[in-house]
A and B are shown apart, each in its own frame.
Chain A
Amino acid sequence: MQRFAALVDALTYTTGRNAKLALLAHYLRETPDPDRGWALAALTDGLDFPAVKASTIRNLMAERVDPLLWTLSRDFVGDTAETASLLWPEAPGDDAVTPPTVSQVVEMLGNMTRATVMSELPKLLDRLDANGRYALIKLATGAMRIGISARLAKTAFAQAFDVPVDEVEEYWHGLQPPYAPLFAWASGAAPAPDLAELPTFRPFMLAHPLEDGAVVDLADYAAEWKWDGIRVQLVRAGEETRVFSRSGDDISASFPDLADALPFPAVLDGELLVRGSHQGGEDGGAASFNALQQRLGRKSVSKKMLADCPAFLRLYDVLLLRGEDLRELPWSARRARLEALMGVLPDRRFDLSQLVEARDFAHLAQLREQARDAAIEGLMLKRRDSPYVAGRRTGLWYKWKRDPLLVDCVLMYAQRGSGKRSSFYSDFTFGCWDGDPEQGAELLPVGKAYFGFTDEELKQLDRHVRQHTVNRFGPVRETDKSLVFEVAFDSVHASKRHKSGLAMRFPRIHRIRWDKPAHEADRIAALAALVRD
């Protein structure tokens, strides 16, 4: 458990992705089974111990620490698990105590019930030091949150054992913690796990952006709209159905309406959308991304939510069908199989992403220009003979995003970046005027961006921030609001979370307008006019 605790701490203080990968890979290589498998599950939120709740920890502490001292400490530290780990009374004569292994911890936590947890959990805490207690409480309450996505963990696994990440991804989802067959395969001790009867994730095929000025021949490529929802994979195998996100996270719990809808074994690739009148104002179209966001990240979904924001899948592709692997077939053959499915899939939950018919590439460019529907992000161009392969393969699929929307904003706050950028002010918050700046209007923040500029520009921006600081709040500086950014973004939505009432999707700094006076920047009203919710 100390190794795991040390890993948790090291990951907490490491910001760079590569450094995190190296730490994880090292741990996975050097730690025996089944500890490493349980640790992997804990880090990627794959463990659940119903007997241990945040309130359990508070109750345990209430028996041991004066309530006022607890409250003062908790307020200062800001995290219940950490406060408890620091305040837990050290067991006297701790030399004799052996710390438990991760596997022992998992086993003991799994055996605890609401009736026994108050007497059993202290026995574990007594065997650990402060860092160990912290890791234990985080593991037990399922709240690691140290920036380890499932994707990062898989990449680290692949790096640790020098195996292809796509294969790791494919097997991972079919297995349960502590993933013994996965480690056995990766270390060369066993053949690959058999997944035929398991609802596992297959890595997505991805697209390269179409270069500016590039032209493709529509005889070789089919065009299709790129929808602004979330790309998902719907998998049914062995009587089980799962919904996976782009990163391979299982999001079935958030979308029970979809998970119930697939009547036969298959693996389908599509865009998850929520019904709304948005698209062209017709019934049965897609609502904007904002509506979809209501459904994301929920562990359970209310009936009202299911009724108000019903989800459906707009299908792009079919990978497996009734036990047959179609991934080697050309796109056109898979497309034909997909179209044939439409008659048997319930149309409340499925529709087909329509192909965009154009006379030639110039005509296609024109159609793309005219598309101002907020549910359309741009076009996809797919080589008609392309197999379905994991990841990005040059020349097969392209995405051709709609030109971004642009608005002039004023730099308001800057924050230091992380990793290599930690000495630079590189995260920028910018705003628009809430009226006429000549008449005393104020700037309200409308977005944040930390990319879109070159290294040279970053240096200039850093210098600007340092020379124009009017206030400091920890790592954040407030500037004198004299610099204008031309900000590009994909869309803008109403948002209650921001004082301006607006939130941008994918804002990035398009150009730095050193030349433009701040009072000539855009007003909130101009930005609000671009909302298409």
Chain B
Amino acid sequence: MMALEFSWIRPEPHGIHIVPADVWVDPSRPVARALVTHGHADHARGGHGETIATPATLAIMELRYNTRDGAVSVHYGESIALGGGVSATFVPAGHVLGSAQVLLEHAGERVVVTGDYKRRADPTCAPFEVTACDIFITEATFGLPVFTHPPIAQEIGKLRDRLAAEPDRCVLVGAYALGKAQRVIAELRAAGHHEPIYLHGAMEKMCRLYEDFGVALGELRLVSDAKKDAMRGQVAVCPPSALNDRWSRRLPDPVTAMASGWMRVRQRARQRGVELPLVISDHADWTELTTTIAEVNPAESWITHGREEALLRWCQLNQRRARALALVGYEDEDD
């Protein structure tokens, strides 16, 4: 099969280059003008001359980099002319607060860059919208057929069952500080958990930011302000890196839990010393990836960071044109 060659858009190792406008999507090194899909560090690097993103993504970047210089805010559904005859429209991606797919149009040709996305309902962000296009540039973080994320209610149920079964311990949930932590908290609230939830210091500001954007998270307290005994039978949330660190010694005999799509695989959970794996991901699983390609039904799919090979194989088996892009600088997020 011949690959489509849209001369105005080029995948380069450090990002997607929109040539006539000289704008980059999620570049992994500083550039003059960048479109940023969402606030995760591997997509939203600092140091660009101009950063075009949704208001929430810009606020998240400001929290991390302490500057708003060059920020250009674009709301969902709004289009912006980039120059060189290219326009960009931000469409919800359902990944984290503020996350967007970028629809790029040039001379009647349409390209969608998904950034990271998922199709499941998430009380902390706007849901993914299917957008017709010629070229669909999709992520593939969980691009293996072994990955099917269970319904989140089931995983939250596991967490609450454990809490009830061991009232003298606390459950410490390792969760990515941007997105996963707030989603776990919001889903706990939705399931009727109204007790205070205890936070690692590194999560506090991001949770406040979510609340500023209208996501209610209920009563949050800092672990550092709490007495050990007060946290028995309660939930605490920390970044995955703090799970087995000295910091965790201040908690009452914590059950080590981890909210991540990788927890689907036993060995991954065991490597991290996780006692309670919670299969909760902000990325599309295999079924979501493949049904999204089918629904969007593009002339060609470009597959970026993750397990490109298997998704490429699926496209081949289903007579869909596809190619893998070798982008650098993206990490296996959802850690």
Q: Interface residues, chain A, CB within 8 Å of chain B?
A: 12-15, 65-66, 68-69, 72-73, 76-79, 82-83, 86-87, 416, 418, 422-423, 462, 474-475
Chain B residues 275 to 331 lying within 8 A of chain A, measured CB to CB, are 275-277, 307, 309-310, 313-314, 317
Using Cβ atoms and an 8 Å threshold, which residues of chain A touch B248?
Answer: 423
Name A83's contact: one of B146, B276, B317 (CB within 8 Å). B146
**Is B275 touching A14 in the complex (CB atoms < 8 A)?**
yes
In whole angstroms, how far apart are the Cα atoms of A229 and B318 in the complex? 61
Q: How many A-B residue pairs have CB under 8 A?
A: 69
Whole-angstrom distance between the Cβ of A70 and the nearest chain B Cβ: 9
**Is A13 touching B269 in the complex (CB atoms < 8 A)?**
yes
Question: What are 17 pairs between A and B in contact, CB < 8 Å?
Answer: A13-B276, A14-B275, A15-B275, A68-B309, A69-B314, A76-B307, A79-B267, A83-B146, A86-B145, A86-B146, A86-B264, A416-B273, A418-B273, A422-B256, A423-B244, A423-B245, A474-B271
The 9 closest A-B pairs by CB, nearest first: A86-B146, A73-B146, A72-B310, A13-B275, A422-B273, A68-B313, A422-B244, A78-B267, A73-B144
In whole angstroms, how far apart are the Cα atoms of A462 and B245 in the complex? 11
Using Cβ atoms and an 8 Å threshold, which residues of chain A touch B314?
Answer: 69
Contacts A65-B145, A83-B146 given: A77-B265 contact, CB under 8 Å?
yes
Using Cβ atoms and an 8 Å threshold, which residues of chain A touch B313?
Answer: 66, 68-69, 72
Chain B residues 213 to 255 lying within 8 A of chain A, measured CB to CB, are 244-246, 248-249
Using Cβ atoms and an 8 Å threshold, which residues of chain B touch A475?
Answer: 244, 271-273
Whole-angstrom distance between the Cβ of A74 and the nearest chain B Cβ: 9
Q: Is B64 an interface residue (CB 8 A)?
A: no
In whole angstroms, how far apart are the Cα atoms of A66 and B144 in the complex? 12
Q: Is B274 an interface residue (CB 8 A)?
A: yes
**Is B265 touching A423 in the complex (CB atoms < 8 A)?**
no
Name A416's contact: one of B244, B249, B264, B266 (CB within 8 Å). B244
**Is A15 touching B146 in the complex (CB atoms < 8 A)?**
no
Q: Is B194 an interface residue (CB 8 A)?
A: no
Whole-angstrom distance between the Cβ of A413 and the nearest chain B Cβ: 16
Closest B residue to A19 by CB, please name it. B275
In whole angstroms, how far apart are the Cα atoms of A83 and B244 in the complex? 28
**Is B267 touching A69 in the complex (CB atoms < 8 A)?**
no
**Is A82 touching B265 in the complex (CB atoms < 8 A)?**
yes
Closest B residue to A419 by CB, please name it. B273
Q: Is B270 an interface residue (CB 8 A)?
A: yes
**Is A76 touching B273 in the complex (CB atoms < 8 A)?**
no
In whole angstroms, how far apart are the Cα atoms of A422 and B256 in the complex? 10
Closest B residue to A79 by CB, please name it. B267
Chain B residues 163 to 185 lying within 8 A of chain A, measured CB to CB, are none
Using Cβ atoms and an 8 Å threshold, which residues of chain B touch A76?
Answer: 144, 146, 265, 307
In whole angstroms, how far apart are the Cα atoms of A78 and B270 in the complex? 13
Contacts A72-B309, A72-B310, A418-B273 given: A77-B244 contact, CB under 8 Å?
no
Using Cβ atoms and an 8 Å threshold, which residues of chain A touch B272?
Answer: 475
Using Cβ atoms and an 8 Å threshold, which residues of chain A touch B246?
Answer: 423, 462
Using Cβ atoms and an 8 Å threshold, which residues of chain A touch B244?
Answer: 416, 422-423, 475
Whole-angstrom distance between the Cβ of A137 and the nearest chain B Cβ: 13
Residue picked from A12, A69, A78, most chain B C-beta under 10 Å: A69
Whole-angstrom distance between the Cβ of A522 and the nearest chain B Cβ: 32
Closest B residue to A10 by CB, please name it. B275
